[in-house]
Structures are given as C-alpha cells and as structure tokens.
Amino acid sequence: MRDTIAAIASGITASGIGIVRISGPGAFRVQIMELPANTIHYGFIFDENEKIDEVLALIMKAPHTYTAEDTVEIDCHGGPFVMQKILSCALRAGARLAEPGEFTRRAFMNGRIDLSEAEAVMDVIGAGSDDALKSSLMQLGGSVRREISDLREKIISEVAYIEAALDDPEHMDLSGYPWQLADRLTGVKNRLTRLRDSFNEGKMIREGIYTVILGKPNAGKSSLLNAMTGEDRAIVTEIAGTTRDSLEENIRLGGLSLRLADTAGIRQTGDLIEKIGVERARSLAEKADLILAVFDSSAAFDDNDEDIFSFIRGRKAIVLLNKSDLPACITEEDVRARCDAPCVVISAKKNEGISTLAEIIRKMFFGGNLRINEQTMITNVRHREAVEDTLHSIDLVFSSIEAGMPEDFFTVDLMDAYASLGKITGEEIGDDLVDAIFSKFCMGK
C-alpha cells in the first residue's frame, strides 16, 4: 500500500466546485513541489504548457490527514471534463486510479479509524434525516468503538486472570472464582443485550421505516402518497384500480425517514393484472415495519374493508380515515370496534392530519423521543450478528459454570466472545470481508 492513488472525490457531475484527491507517499511529488505542508495555495493547473484550470491546492502532511498519508486536494471548477483533465495529469505523473472506498480503507489500515467508524462514513453520506445523521456522526466519532473496546477489555482481563491462575496455582486461588465470573459476565451480557436490542431502532433510523400504504381502490392511497411526498408522484383519478403496481419513495415526515410504498387497491377482482397487483400489495405489507391502512370515511365499510381490517390485526398499523372534507359515514368508534390500531382522521386532498400522523409514528416507534445522545446504538446487520455471536459464547460460559466445568473451559468461549466483538472494530476480520465492505463505498471516498 505504498503507492499513490488519485480520484475525483466530489462526484462526476456538473457543479460549482470539484475536488480531485491524491493520497500516498508520492502525493507531493505527483502534483505539488516544494510547498509547505498544511497550507492552501492559489494558482493554475497546467498540462505541460496548456493551462487547464484556476484552482486552490490543499497541502496536508501525514499523519494529520483523512488517510493518515501525505494528501493533496485540488479544488477546481466542477465540470466533469476539467476534473477528468486534472485527474489525468495526476495519473500520468505517477499516481494510479483509486478503487471505490480506497481512501477510507487506507484510513482504516493506517489506524486512524476503526472499521465501525469507516462504515459510519457511508452512513453519514447516505443519512436521510436529522436522526440518521446524528446517529452516524456518533458512530463516526467512536461511540461503537469505545463500547466494544471496553467490553473486550473486560472479557480479556478474565481470560488473563484464569490463565495466570492456572499457571501459578500456588499463589492464585480459583476457589469461588466461577461465581464471581458469572456476576461480572452478567453485567457484560446486559450491555450486549441492550446493544443488540438497539438494532431495530437503529436500522429504522439509518434506512428509514419501511411503510406500506394499504387500502381498497379509491380510498385515497395515491393522494396520501402525493401529500406525504409533496409531489404528484402517483396518478390520482376517480377510476377505481388506477394503481396496479407498487410505487416507492424515500421521504422525510416530521423529521422521520420513511421508505414509503403505495400499492394496488385491495379488492376481489377477476382482472389478472390487478390481481397480481393485489397479491404484491399483501406481500409488501407482510414485510413492512408499518402499515398505513387507508379507508374512505365518506363511504360505509364493505367486505373489502373488512378484509383489510382482518389483515392488519396483530400488525403494526395506523388506520387513516381519509376524505374528512366530505360528510362522514364512519367514525373512529367504528374503527375501534374492529381493531386497536391508532386512528387518524385526515384529508389527503387538503393535506390535513399529516402532522398528527407523523407524531403518532414517532411515538409508535421511538416512544416520542429518540435517545441517540444517551446510548450507543448499532445500525449495521454485521454488527448485530457479531453481538449475537458474542452473547452465544457468553451463554456457553454460564452453562460451563452451572455444570461445574474446569476453568480452562471458560477461556475457550471467552476468547470466542472476544474475537466476535473484534469483528465489529476490524481487529478480528479477514481481507475478503474488508474488500466486500469497502467495495460498497463510492469512488473518491
């Protein structure tokens, strides 16, 4: 990893400013000669005698850089052609084109960040809400690393004690130690359990709450989608069955991030295409974190409505009585007689009741408030699996204690727990997995 890499770091789209990043031992030689480190310089980029652009050059010396290597960043005009010209100059001068995520990978390999912090970089870039950004920044700042490092330290100290006592039984007595170990591991297990249980909330913060709009034709599902997105994303007509396939949008609602899906109207139908749409709607609803069940409050419930009520019972759902701008035929009492889901009266056409809906969703999923600043939270499936593996190993230690097994049996499972947690921070991980993680990064990052 002693070569020098370069890439366009700002995305290859027309914009006011573009950035070409160069990192490695030859960064100064590739682009800048005899300029002091940690300074910014104004000038022009030349390709031999041809002037390419008017730029600012940021000269940063290792280890105080993103990659912990010598780094040069060229701030130029953001046209794709001019950025490619500057990049070509750097490549001809001895740099090679960086692979996706290679700058961040070098930061990880050089010890400036751990793997959980590296993964948080892409979470910051992809954050779709204030809560997601706050959570990602906490992980980037080392919240997960600190929690995992402390837990690993507690586990390895027990291993060290056992091994020392086994090596020197004359001076170190293990009588009663197994139950002392059980007491200390109970605290470790409780922290791990809280960490594991934070995943569902953390995942929804990171990815958004997968929300499916369900209802019979002409209940106002597409109007609701348009109201929540603020755009005419779905076709709205008086003709029943206009929506025959799902339409998905990522939206922000009252500070929440939702992955919102409008679906075909639920009804009995002989139309083959519409029937496929209905089946797909049910399939999506079964996978949803939240169902928004939309009913036309200006019309009495029919068999199709009753079918929807049967489907949402026992699921996380909110009933929306739409078309409140029309004379009502059904009430919230009618809904409560059929299910215990929260009920909101809305008018998607007039955009009324949407803010109330947002408040109910926040209370339903986050108890009204997110405690991002109060606890370490995991948002990554890989991290959750590592925590679950750790808990399994800890449970095996408890089983060995209960069975009266010799102390050296404890160390095997304790070391497995220690290694599983190390996968989160990257201390116990293979090159193949590292390659897979960083291959998901964008070019120039």
CATH of the domain at 36: 3.30.1360.120
CATH label of the domain that carries residue 339: 3.40.50.300
Number of separate domains in the chain = 3
CB within 8 Å of 91: residues ≥ 6 apart: 6, 97
Q: Are residues 199 and 214 in the same domain?
A: no
Q: Is residue 439 part of a domain?
A: no
11 and 142: one domain?
Answer: no
Examine the pLDDT at 103 and tell me if it is beyond 60. yes
Domain co-membership, 192 together with 213: no
pLDDT for the residue numbered 374: 59
Is the pLDDT confidence value at 182 over 70? Answer: yes
Residue 187 has pLDDT above 60, yes or no: yes
Same domain, 231 and 198: no
* Domain coverage including residue 99: 5-114
Residue 423: pLDDT over 90: yes
Q: Look at 176-185, 189-198, 417-426, 428-437 and tell me which has the smallest mean pLDDT.
A: 428-437
Is residue 119, in this structure, part of any structural domain at all?
no
The two structure tokens encoding residue 339 = 């299910």
Structure tokens at 349: 């056409």
User: For residues 111 and 69, what is the distance between their CA atoms, to the nearest angstrom?
Assistant: 11
Tell me the per-residue pLDDT of 219-254, one tens digit each, with 9 for 90 and over: 888 888 888 887 655 444 443 444 445 678 888 887
Predicted model pTM: 0.80
In a shared domain, residues 232 and 354: yes
Q: 15-23 and 5-8 as β-strands: parallel, antiparallel, unpaired?
A: antiparallel
CA distance 283 to 424: 33
Same domain, 216 and 322: yes
Q: Which region, left, alpha or beta, applies to residue 111 given φ > 0 means left and ψ of -120 to 50 means alpha?
A: left
- 267, 310: one domain: yes
Does residue 162 sit in the same domain as residue 197?
yes
Task: Give the pLDDT band (50/70/90) at residue 408.
Answer: confident
Nearest residue to 266 (alpha-carbon basis) of 324, 330, 212, 322: 212
Give the integer Cα–Cα distance in Å for 393 and 92: 53
DSSP 8-state assignment for residue 439: T
Same domain, 98 and 11: yes
Same domain for 156 and 16: no
Q: Are residues 326 and 408 in the same domain?
A: no
Specify the pLDDT at position 175.
83
Domain end: 84, 114, 144, which one?
114
End-to-end, the C-alpha distance of the chain in Å comes to 16
Please check whether residues 263 and 214 belong to one and the same domain: yes
114, 138, 159 — which closes off a domain? 114
Q: Spell out the SS3 assignment of 150-177.
A: HHHHHHHHHHHHHHHHHHCCCCCCCCCH
- Residue 373 forms part of a structural domain: no
Residue 337 has pLDDT above 60, yes or no: yes
